[in-house]
Structure formats: structure tokens, C-alpha cells
Structure 1
Amino acid sequence: MAAGLPTAMDRPHFIGIGGAGMSGIAKILAQRGAKVAGSDAKESATAEALRALGATVHIGHAAEHLADDATCVVVSSAIRADNPELSRAAELGIPVVHRSDALASLMEGLRPLAVAGTHGKTTTTSMLAVSLSELGLAPSYAIGGDLDAPGSNALHGDGEIFVAEADESDRSFHKYAPEVAIVLNVELDHHANYASMDEIYESFETFAGRIVPGGTLVISADHEGARELTSRVSGGPRVVTYGEAEDADVRIVSIVPHGLKSEVTVLLDGEELTFTVSVPGRHYAGNAVAALAAGVALGVPAAELARALGAYTGVKRRLQLKGEAAGVQVIDSYAHHPTEMTADLEAMRAGASGRILVVFQPHLFSRTQELGREMGQALSLADASIVLDIYPAREDPIPGVTSELIVDAARVAGAEVTPVHDKADAPTVVAGMAVPGDLVLTMGAGDVTDLGPRILDRLQSK
């Protein structure tokens, strides 16, 4: 069963079309036959991938980029009110649609599966997209990261299932009405939008309340915040818990690491089921079990889905191997919250034979202000770290908030840490530290990912 094209989306214009969330929606619309256009701040492989689908992509933001016949303008919460294309839309009377509303419209008439949580959304959504595709179910999907090539973060499939990453950062996941929803964990993050854990819980409660009648909430039995949420939504949708906890409905019996893979055994409906997870770390094994439970809730046979989950080999920026030079592996991590940082460092420690060296770039001033101490503590799990200046993304600086907060906390925790204020210097510093057998982890949600190839080049020329 294929979904059609919403009339208001015939000729959409995306402001910030190259972003992870925006580009996915644009891609699906283009594949459904829409005349897609948009703009982005800089040229990228994603922009090229969209052009290959017939989209018009302008570089830079200017009023003249918005065509008079556009049926809507799609924006994310990151777009500022003074954007010239947004101002032009107001002049022309063109409706402005939030990214989440556009995504919600694409799910209409299908069986939506929405993946939420403070951490692990992209990985879990990707696992479902890959495994359901492997089974020939032809799902549509929209993910916050590329699977294996630029622009592979979304696809319009001919099947009836739509798998979507559900973003809590700006409460936009309240727009979806899933048949099955996953909540991986619930922690305080996105401090510019949430002042307390109570606000976070209220937001996730609203999301859970959007599950359609007869639908299912799949939620962790291991994470404290998720268990609290479970107690708050009792009497709502059918709840299926998963995890290592003894009372989990889908209980993880064992996770046995094998290099950069794991063998996972679960107890499901009274029977044990063992399958391979082709990425390292307990947290990725847990994500796979969440995906398994959600697929089963949609009616996918458990044994078939478990086998297909082994086909998932990772997503860009989620412990992605960038290469090896001079006996040193360079791996890229999107981790930017202390919990994510700890999980990725523990996963790398389990599979590494030599030292772990981290190049960490803090993401957002607000996050650093609230969680800088915990970030520093997480870096103590590495053998040595370089800490770059804060990547501001959409935020303006906060007086007194710098990466030195993390450096100081890391040193208090006993970590060996070096501040580097010019990102261009980082490859030389890393190359001077690394020896054969070491593993270098570039870590953060900003442009630290660009350093991987440069570090490899510098290592090669040692």
C-alpha cells in the first residue's frame, strides 16, 4: 500500500533543506512526485543527492530563492524568524509548515512506528529500516542520519509501514499518531526548551498519549526515567517493556561480545531467541531488542526479524570507522550527551586492544552549561582526550560558558586532557599522541566529524 502526496505538499520549499530531518522529508516528497525546492547554508553531498532526485537546491538564504508558486514553506525550529525566505513567504501569503507537521502528513494512511528517547533514536530507527527492508516489507522511513551514503536517511517505500525518528527536543513528536511507539530512555536534555525533568515527563506522556487506540508502547525496563514514564502512562496504550530487568516483558538474557559484534539472547513469549547485533556495545544490543519488540508488535514474526536485524551494520557518525593509518584506527561518534559519551567509550573499550584517544567537541552552550561536569567525567574513560571549543549550532554564546568547564571537570576526574582552541590544529596534536594500536574517536554532534580524514592524512605522513 503506497501513500499519496498531500495536496499542500505539491511544490514545497524547505529552508535548511540539507539538515538531517529536513532532507529526509524532502527526499520522500520528491520520490512521491512533488516539485521540491529549498535552500541551505552551504553546499553538501546531501544537497547533491537531493538534486539527483530532481529537487532544486539553492546555496545561501535569499528571498528570491522562494518561488511565487510554492504551495508551502517547510521550516524546523532552528530557522530564525528573520530568515529572508520566511519573510518572503509572509509577503506572498504562502503557508509555513513545521517539519513535524510535514512528516506527520507523510505518515497518513500508513502504519507509523515512531522511535523516541533521549539517546539511540537514530540507531534504532535505522535498525528497523534496514531489517524491515531486508524482509521485503518495503517500509518508508525518515531517519536523523545517513545509513550508507549521502541522502540515505529517508526512503519512500511501497509497503504499509512508516518508520520515523521522533524528536523530543522541541516537542515536535507530539504531532505524530503512531501505531507503535518506542521510548528508549528519558533524561533531561535540550535545556533551552525543558527546564526540569517534570517537563520532560509531561512531554513524553503527551507523546505516549498520541498512540492510536489498540496501539503499543515499547519502553525500556532498565532506565530509571523510562520506568517512571511507564508508571505515568498506565491505563493508556498497551505497554511492552524490554531490557535486562527481571520484570521485562522482552527480557535480555545475555549479551556476549565478539569483537565489534554481539550475540544477544532474549526471552520472548516464553521462548529464547538468539541473534547477532553487528555493532558493538550493550546499548546497541538494547536498541536492537527494542526494534525487535516493536516489529513484533506490528505483526512481524520474531525469528525472521531477529535474523534480519543482523543485516544492520551501522549508520554514519554512530561509531563509524573512518579508516586506518600508521596502525591507528579513526572512528567517528555523534555522542554529545554524557550518557551517550559513556556508552560509546565503554563499547570501544570492550573492543579495543590499545589506547583510546578522544577528540571531543562540545555541542551547544546550554548543554555545556548544564552538563559540562558530566561530560568531563565521561572523558575520564578515555586514555587521553583533546577538547575543542563549543560548537554553537543554533545558539548564541552564554557568558562564562566555555569548553574549559569540561576540561576542568575531566582533570578533577583524573583524565589526561588537552584543550585545543583552533580545530585546525587538532589533527597534528592527535598524530603526535597516537602510536600503532591506538584508536582515535572523534566525538560530538558538530563539525568535529570533518576531522577524521585530516587525522588519517596526518597520521599517514608521520
Structure 2
Amino acid sequence: MAKLESIQRIYFIGIGGIGMSALARYFVSRGVRVSGYDRTETPLTKALVAEGIPVHYTEDITAIPLDVDVVVYTPAVPAVHAGLVYYREKGFEVVKRSDVLQWITESSFNVCVGGTHGKTTISTMTAHILTHTGYGCNAFLGGISANYNTNFWSSERHVAVVEADEYDRSFLKLVPDVAVITAMDADHLDIYGTAEEVENAFVQFSQRVKPGGCLVSKYGLSRSSELQAAHHFTYSFDQTGADVYAADVKVMDGSYHYNVIANNWQLNNVVLHMGGLHNIENSVAAITVAKYLGIDDEKIKAAVASFKGVKRRFEYLVREEGKIMIDDYAHHPQELKALITGVRSLYGNAACTVVFQPHLFSRTKDLAEEFAASLDLADEVILLPVYPARELPMEGVTSELIARYMKHSNVKLLSKEEMLQYVGQQRPSLLVMSGAGDIDALLEPVKEILTGA
């Protein structure tokens, strides 16, 4: 805390990132003077500016502030970035986002949610339960909560719910009192090299739980026996071998009704208004954390029932009779599989069209066959060009690589403009948009086409 108390002025390079913006908002809440840079203006940077945070978009050292105590950067920013190079050469204190999260979590009670998918929904749901029930928490999230329309909120209570990001091994700097591990699938192989190294990092993450703390991990993880904590609970959607699982799941009016069963407790008549069977499983994890913290049963159920979800996580953009449009951030094969399976659980055999934008050349190359298998679950697939993010193009790696592995022939490789044209012509009644790149910029145009707005 002493380190945090000394910061009066702070500058963020890559302030528009979802994790970076949460930290920027945290410092504003503490009365610190915050400013930052990002490459392009986005809805999130516009929101930050509206909240009083100056943001500039040119890589120009004449635009950067010199009276700052700390400079924070995201690993997504290139090492040759002019501002980053300048601050380092001039001897400023330059740290990663993960270093700042370490400072924060070293002096609070922390619930840290990690995993290669599901962590944003579970961390947001957990933070919502703690807030809605009056328990209280500071929330540092990797998505925009639909309930609060932000990825950060503060509380007088010295409790933090933190989304623990495995990219660049950032989560190994956190100090959890309660840790959640949702999945340890191969991802970020540009950082880790092998699937085994990804798993090793999650084992290390579990070892960072404080003495006497709690670990909640998904049932059936390949290295489960190596995940150690004083209190360790496994959770599942429906596997009765888990310590906590869902039972008697029913779909009523587009919502899920179910019971949550544990070894020594039971929570009956839980209602979740968020689509996707995987989100029932996510709720089981969040409920397990809440029960461990001693929160009242009825308060937990009321919080889950009031949970509106996370922007871009099974988010309904159009929900009318005979016209459904769902948006999701899914960018890993397992996430895509969960997304499409979740759509099927609600809409049965209705013809499902999926528009998918692959994210990163490296991930597309490493997981093309797995992406194809997940997308084969849809009736029709439109593949947009790969979104490069921080990467340069790789020879032979395009969206066509995924299409080659797909078993059904109803797949189209379209540009963004061609996709908009196609949707206008076909007007699919059940459309799913998915990806972690700039596909979100297409959501409003597609919605307008489908609704005629």
C-alpha cells in the first residue's frame, strides 16, 4: 500500500485495453491524476475521456506528460514504441500492468479468477454477487459488466475481485486468498511454447494462494492432483463427481432454472437469465466462492437472478420473435464450442449462422483444426480475415486454413464489406457474431440490417 500511496500522477501506454482501463479508473477513484495513450479511439477510450482522463492517439513524445510518478504499459505495446523508449531512456519508473495489480493485491483480500476461458464471466459474476449482497468488493475485470456498465468499481471494503490474465504470465504476480481456475487449455503458445508450459503456469498460480486460502477449480483438469490449497473445491456443470455441480436444469422463457448441489450444502431454485449452458457452470464457480465467503443463500440467489451478464459474452443484441442476434468474445476453439452448444440448448435445431473473426495468426495456425471442429457445430459459417492484433502476418496462415479442416461445406470466406452485404441479402433468423478482434465495430451495422433500423 505504501507504494500506491506515493503515486500522485500516472500515465498508461495502451490505456484503451480492457485491463489497463480498469486500472486507470482505479487510480481516478483514489484521486490520482491519470492520462494515457492508445493507438486508436474506441468506445472505451471515449468513455475514459468522458470520465475526465486525457487520452492522445499519436505516437509523439511531445504529447506525453513528463511530470508522472509511474508509467504503466501493456505487453501488447511494441518495445519500440516511442513513448515507452523515451520514458525508459530518461529513467522513469516503467512497469507492466501486472506489477500494479501485484501492488494492489499485496494489501487486500483477493479473489483471483484465472483460466484460458470463462474467467471474465466468473470474475464479473463473483464481483456482482459480492456487491449486490452487500459484502462489497473492488472489481478489476476483463470485460464490461452489463449491470454496472464498467470494468471497475470500488468499495470501502478491502476486498478485490481480479481477473487473472495468463498472457505473459501476468497472473503469477497476484496473491490470491481465493483462486479460481476454469481451464488450462493450450493458448498463447507464442508466449508459452507448449501446452505443458501453459499447464505448468496454472499449477504455479495455484501455489500462490495464501496459506489457509481456497482454490476452486474445474472438475477434470488434467493436472488437478497438482493443484494444492488448504481448501480445494472442484466444480462442474453436471458431473456428480465434482464437489459442486448443477442439477435439474430446466429452460423456461429463455432462462435457466436449476439447483446447485455440494457435499454439505444445496442451493435450490437458482435462476440465471444469461444464455449458454457453460454460463450455468460459470455460475456454479461464482456461487462456490460466495458460499465459501459465508454469504447468505437467499442473497446469493437474488444476485444471480439479477445478473445481466458481460458485454460481448453471450450478449443478445436482437431478441425478437423469429429474429435473434447474439454477440460473443469467443476466440478459442473451446469457447466457440461452448458458445454454439449454448445457442443450441436454447434454440434447438433452428438454423444457426456463425460469423467468426479469427484472432492472431499464431492462434489460427496452432488451433486451425480445433476451430474447424467447433465451427462444424453451426449450420452456416462465415469466416472473416484474421485479426492480427500485435502480430505480423504469417505465410500461409489465413482464415482459409480453418475452412480447409471443416467437414461441412457451408462455409464462406468473406471480407467485412461482403459479410454485411450477405447478411443483408439472407437475413438469417439466428445469427451469432464471435471474435476478439475488431468485429465489435460491425455489430451495430449488422443489427441495423437485421432490424431495419
Tell me, yes or no, if structure 1 residue 311 matches structure 2 residue 306: yes
Match of 2:235 among 237, 242, 249: 242
Tell whether the 8 Å contact from 2:424 to 2:450 is kept in structure 1 after alignment: yes
User: 1:181 is matched by which residue type in structure 2?
Assistant: A
Tell whether the 8 Å contact from 2:22 to 2:141 is kept in structure 1 after alignment: yes
User: 2:398 is matched by which residue type in structure 1?
Assistant: T
Give the alignment's TM-score, normalised by structure 1. 0.92
The 1-side partners of 2:162 and 2:431 are apart by 31
Match of 2:354 among 345, 355, 358: 358
Query: RMSD between aligned alpha carbons?
Result: 2.1
User: 2:61 is matched by which residue type in structure 1?
Assistant: A
Give the alignment's TM-score, normalised by structure 2. 0.94
The 2-side partners of 1:277 and 1:325 are apart by 19
Q: Percent identity?
A: 34
Tell whether the 8 Å contact from 2:189 to 2:195 is kept in structure 1 after alignment: no
1:68 and 1:338, CA in 2 relative to 1: closer, same or farther beyond 3 A? same
The 1-side partners of 2:445 and 2:321 are apart by 13
Greater shift in the superposed pair: 300-309 or 70-79: 300-309
Aligned residues: 450
Offset, 1:19 = 0.7
Match of 1:11 among 9, 12, 17: 9
1:296 and 1:149, CA in 2 relative to 1: closer, same or farther beyond 3 A? closer
User: 2:13 is matched by which residue type in structure 1?
Assistant: I
Residue equivalent to 1:349: 344
User: 2:393 is matched by which residue type in structure 1?
Assistant: P
Tell me, yes or no, if structure 1 residue 289 matches structure 2 residue 284: yes
List per-residue Cα deviations over 1:371-428 (Å, max 9, x = no partner). Answer: 1111112111111111111000111111111110111122xx12411110x2122111
Match of 1:215 among 213, 216, 230: 213
Match of 1:444 among 435, 440, 444: 435
Match of 2:83 among 85, 92, 114: 85
Q: Secondary structure at the match of 1:318?
A: coil
Residue equivalent to 2:380: 384
Tell whether the 8 Å contact from 1:259 to 1:351 is kept in structure 2 after alignment: no
List per-residue Cα deviations over 1:315-345 (Å, max 9, x = no partner). Answer: 1111112236895322211111111101111
Greater shift in the superposed pair: 338-347 or 270-279: 270-279
Offset, 1:305 = 1.8
List per-residue Cα deviations over 1:184-221 (Å, max 9, x = no partner). Answer: 11111111012222211210111111111110110111
The 2-side partners of 1:409 and 1:237 are apart by 45
1:141 and 1:461, CA in 2 relative to 1: closer, same or farther beyond 3 A? closer
The 2-side partners of 1:297 and 1:125 are apart by 15
Report matched runs for 1:38-437 at 5 Å. 38-148=36-146, 152-221=150-219, 223=220, 226=221, 228-234=222-228, 236-243=229-236, 244-274=238-268, 275-323=270-318, 327-352=322-347, 354-410=350-406, 413-420=407-414, 422-435=415-428
The 2-side partners of 1:209 and 1:177 are apart by 10
The 2-side partners of 1:31 and 1:50 are apart by 13
User: 2:311 is matched by which residue type in structure 1?
Assistant: K
The 2-side partners of 1:456 and 1:146 are apart by 20
The 1-side partners of 2:377 and 2:62 are apart by 50
Tell whether the 8 Å contact from 2:246 to 2:259 is kept in structure 1 after alignment: yes
List per-residue Cα deviations over 1:38-80 (Å, max 9, x = no partner). Answer: 0111122222322333322112222123211111110111111
Q: Which runs of structure 1 show a deviation greater than 3 angstroms over 4 or more consecutive aligned residues?
A: 324-327, 459-462
Q: Secondary structure at the match of 1:359?
A: strand
1:415 and 1:277, CA in 2 relative to 1: closer, same or farther beyond 3 A? farther
Q: Secondary structure at the match of 1:13?
A: strand
Residue equivalent to 1:29: 27
The 1-side partners of 2:69 and 2:265 are apart by 52
Q: Secondary structure at the match of 2:279?
A: helix
Tell whether the 8 Å contact from 1:66 to 1:85 is kept in structure 2 after alignment: yes
Tell whether the 8 Å contact from 1:361 to 1:443 is kept in structure 2 after alignment: yes
1:23 and 1:77, CA in 2 relative to 1: closer, same or farther beyond 3 A? same
List per-residue Cα deviations over 1:125-161 (Å, max 9, x = no partner). Answer: 1101212111122310011111138960111221232
